Amino acid sequence: MGDSHLERLLLRPVAEPEPDAAAAVAAGPIDPAQALGRDELDRLCDPAPLAAETGWCTLPDGIGYVAARTTMPGVTGEMVDWWFDWHPREPIRYRVWHPLAHVSNSLEPPAAPGAKAHWGATHHPVEDVGVGIAHARISFLRPTEIGFSTDGLDDPRIATIVGGHVGDDRRRSRHSLMVHVFLAERDGVVLRSRFWFGALMRPYLPAPLASAVEPLLNTGFARRRLLPADLPRAVAGHCIEEYANLAELLPDLYRRYG
Amino acid sequence: MATMGFEFDGATFARGGDGYEPARSAAVWNARTPERFPELIVQAASERDVVAAVRLAKAEGMTIGVRAGGHSWAGNHVRDGGMLLDVSRLREATIDAAGMTATAQPGCPGNEMLAALLAHGRFFPAGHCPGVCLGGYLLQGGFGWNGRIHGPACMSVEAIDAVTADGELVRASATENEDLFWAARGSGPGFFAAVIRFHLRIYEAPKVIANGVFTYPLQELETVFRWAAEVGPEVPRDMELMVFIHRDESGEAEVAVTGPVLSASESDATTALALLETCPSRPRAKLAVPRVDVGLADLYAGVHSSYPDDHRYCVDNIWTHAPVDELLPGIERIAETLPTAPSHMLWMNWGESPDRPDMAYSVEDETYIACYGVWADPADDQRFGGWATDSMRAMEGAASGIQLADENLINRPARFVTDANITRLDEVRAKWDPGGRFHPWLGRP
C-alpha cells in the first residue's frame, strides 16, 4: 500500500459545506439574469459582492451555469497553485480531495513551462458528482487565455486564478469553461467558482474537422441533448463540498508534502 | 480488470486470471460452487480495503456481493458479473468484559468469538455451527446457543460500522442512521451495505453446559414428535429441544432427541434435562444418555459432524405453529425419502417469542423445521439436490414463513420478513442504495 497518511484521510468524513452555500444550492435555480456573463470574468477579481455568489441555473441558450463561493481559512494562493500541480500525479491524492466522488486522476504536464505549474497542464479526472461517472479532461490555461484581462500575478487582491476548459475523454469532446478565482483575505482566501457548461462545445478532432462541427454543437438543442439536465445543480453541490473539504485538508497537506 | 488506481492490502482476482477460480470456490462453504461468475474478486485484508472496493465498484458501475463466512449454502454472495467482496479475512474481535460489550469484524467465526468470551466469563448467542462467521449470521437474525433466552443474535447488535453504496463509512445504531440499523437487523443477504464491524452486547456466561441424547427407531417417530410438540411449551428457555431424523452408523433412519442446556445453575440444568426422560418412547430408546457435561467445543464438534466441510448441500426450512397432526405426514415423507448420511431433518422447539424490538427481523414461530441434504459425490446432485426443496414445498401449507439462516430463496421463494417489513426494506434500500449496488436476495416472495 502507499502513503498511510493519505490512506487514513480516505476514511475521514467529507467536510460539510457552508450552510449558506448549501441552502443556496438547495433553493433551486437562480434567475438567469443573476448569472455572470462569460465576458465579465474580471468582476470575479473585484471583492465587491456579486449577485448570486452561490447558485445554479440553465441559461436560455442551454448553457448550464454554476456559481459557488467558499471561504478557505488558512489557505494561501501558493498552496492552491501547489495543489493543482501535486494532486493529479497520484489517484489517491485526488481521491483524498473528495473520497466519495473522486475516483482517479492523471496528469499531462504542460508542453512548455509557464509562470505557474498548472498553466498548460491537462488533468484527466474520473469522478461522479451525482450524475454518473465522468471521465473528464481539464485543460488548465493562463487566465488571459480564457477571458480575463489579467493573469492576476501582481494584483494583491488575487491570491491565484485557476481555470481552463473542461471536456469528456470518453465522448471525445470539450464542452465547458471553468474558473476559480481565489481572493486574498486576511486569514486565508475566498474562492469564487464559475462554470458555464456547454459553452465551449468542440470535439477532440483535428482542427479542420473540429472547426467544422463546432457550430453544430454550440446550440441549445445540442447542449440539452449532450449534458445531463441535473448537471448544474449537481456540480454546484459538489463544488461547495469539495472546496470546503479541501480547505480543511490543504494547509496540513502543504506542510507535509509541499 | 483495471482497478482504476485503487490499491488493496489484500488480493484481487479478475475473471479468467490466475487464482480466480480457487478464490471463487473458496468463497462458498458448499462444495457445489454456484455456476455464477463475478468479474472481480476482492479479498479485503483491511477495513480500508472494503471502503476502496465499494468505491471502485461505484466507479466501475459494478454490483457487489459480500462474503463473510461464506456459509450461505445457496452462495447468495456469488453472482454473475460485478464484484465479489470477500471480507472473511476481517476477523478481529475485541471484548470489554467489564463493560459487557464486544466488537467483531464480519469474518470472525462465531465459535471463536464465543470461546474467547467464555474465557472471560462472558457469552454471546453465537451460531450452532462452527465456522459460521458473524457477518452473515448477525444480518439474517442469528439463531444460536441460548437464542431462546437472548433472542435472535441480531437483537444483541447495538451498532454497525458499514460502508454504504456511496462508499461512505457510517455508524448505524438506534440513534444514528436508524433506518440502516433497522435494516441491518434481519435483512440478511439482502442487506445493502458492507458491514466492517459489529458492536455487540454480551452476557454472563452460563454456569453449566450439558446435553442429553436419546435415539429411537423410526417406528417411534409419531410418538416422539407428538411428545415433543406437547412438552415444547414447557421446555425451559435455557434448553434447546431438538429432534432429528437422520441415519445411524448402519444407514438406518432413526429419530434422535437432544436437549443441550446452557444454564445459570446446576438445578436449572437438572430440571431441564429431566424433561427428556418423559418421552413415552423412552423404554424403546436405542441409545439413552440422560446427561453428559460438555464443553462448548464438544457441542460444536457434535454439530460439525452433521454439517461437514467439503460436502454438497441443498437446504430448506419452514417456521410453523401447525398442530402436530398436520405436520406428521410431511415429517413421515421426509423420513421415507431421507438421502444418505449425514443428510437430516431438524425439528426445533423455538417456542413462543416475546416482544421484539422494531427491526427488519420479524418472522418466527413456535417450531422450526429444516431439511439438510448433504452429500459428497457430484454424481448424486441429481438424486439429492431436490430433496430439501421438495420436502419443504410439500409442507408449505403449514408454514408461516422461513428463516434466512437456511434460506433456499433461489428455488423456493418464501416469506422471511413480514409484508410490512419487506415494503419498508425496499424503501430503506431505495434511500441507501438507489442504484442497486448491493445484490438483493436470490429470490423473494
Selection from A226, A170, A195, A173 nearest residue A35 by Cα? A195
Residue B140 and residue B120 in one domain: yes
The predicted-structure confidence for A65-95, as pLDDT tens digits, reads as follows 999 999 999 999 999 999 999 999 999 999 9
Question: What φ, ψ does residue B317 adopt, rounded to 5°?
Answer: -160, 160
Overall domain count for chain B? 3
Residue B338 and residue B240 in one domain: yes
The residue among B189, B205, B221 that closes a domain is: B205
In-domain check, residue B6: no
What is the residue extent of each domain of chain A?
60-257
Share of chain A above pLDDT 90, in %: 86
Residue B127 and residue B264 in one domain: no
Q: Are A103 and A120 in contact (CB under 8 A)?
A: no
Residue B275 and residue B195 in one domain: no
Residue B160 and residue B79 in one domain: no
In-domain check, residue B37: yes
Share of chain B above pLDDT 70, in %: 100
The predicted-structure confidence for B151-180, as pLDDT tens digits, reads as follows 999 999 999 999 999 999 999 999 999 999
Strands (E) across B165-267 are located at 169-173, 193-201, 203-204, 208-217, 242-247, 253-258, 261-263
The residue among B205, B230, B265 that closes a domain is: B205
Residue B348 and residue B309 in one domain: yes
CA distance B246 to chain A (A): 50
How many contacts (CB atoms, under 8 Å) link A and B? 41
Distance of CA A2 to the CA centre of its chain: 27
The predicted-structure confidence for B39-63, as pLDDT tens digits, reads as follows 999 999 999 999 999 999 999 999 9
Domain with residue B50: its CATH number is 3.30.43.10
The predicted-structure confidence for A105-158, as pLDDT tens digits, reads as follows 999 999 988 899 999 999 999 999 999 999 999 999 999 999 999 999 999 999
Residue of A nearest to B5 (CA): A91
Domain with residue B180: its CATH number is 3.30.465.10
In-domain check, residue B197: yes
Residue B228 and residue B250 in one domain: yes
Residue B192 and residue B232 in one domain: no
Q: Does the pLDDT of residue A1 top 70, yes or no?
A: no
Query: Which residues, numbered 4 to 33 in chain B, qualify as contacts with chain A under a Cβ-Cβ cut-off of 8 Å?
Result: 4-9
Residue of B nearest to A134 (CA): B59
Task: Spell out which residues of chain B touch residue A7, defining contact as CB-CB under 8 Å.
Answer: 48
ipTM of the complex: 0.71
The predicted-structure confidence for B86-137, as pLDDT tens digits, reads as follows 999 999 999 999 999 999 999 999 999 999 999 999 999 999 999 999 999 9
In-domain check, residue B420: no
In-domain check, residue B349: yes
Q: Are B39 and B47 in contact (CB under 8 A)?
A: no
Residue B252 and residue B338 in one domain: yes
Task: Spell out which residues of chain A touch residue B7, defining contact as CB-CB under 8 Å.
Answer: 1-2, 92
Residue B75 and residue B112 in one domain: no
Q: Do B5 and A100 touch (CB under 8 A)?
A: no
pLDDT at residue B9, as a whole number: 94
Give the nearest partner residue to A128 out of B52, B58, B168, using CB atoms.
B58
In-domain check, residue B432: no
Q: Do B55 and A11 touch (CB under 8 A)?
A: no
The residue among B151, B173, B205 that closes a domain is: B205
Residue B250 and residue B283 in one domain: yes
Range of the domain at B142: 93-205
Task: Spell out which residues of chain B touch residue A91, defining contact as CB-CB under 8 Å.
Answer: 4-6
User: Distances from the Cα of A76 to the Cαs of A73, A113, A161, A183, A248, in angstroms?
Assistant: 9, 22, 12, 9, 13
Grid cell in block for residue A159: 491570491
CA distance B428 to chain A (A): 19
* Mean pLDDT across B215-227: 97
CATH number at A60-257: 3.30.530.20
In-domain check, residue B413: no
Domain with residue B349: its CATH number is 3.40.462.20
Residue B81 and residue B127 in one domain: no
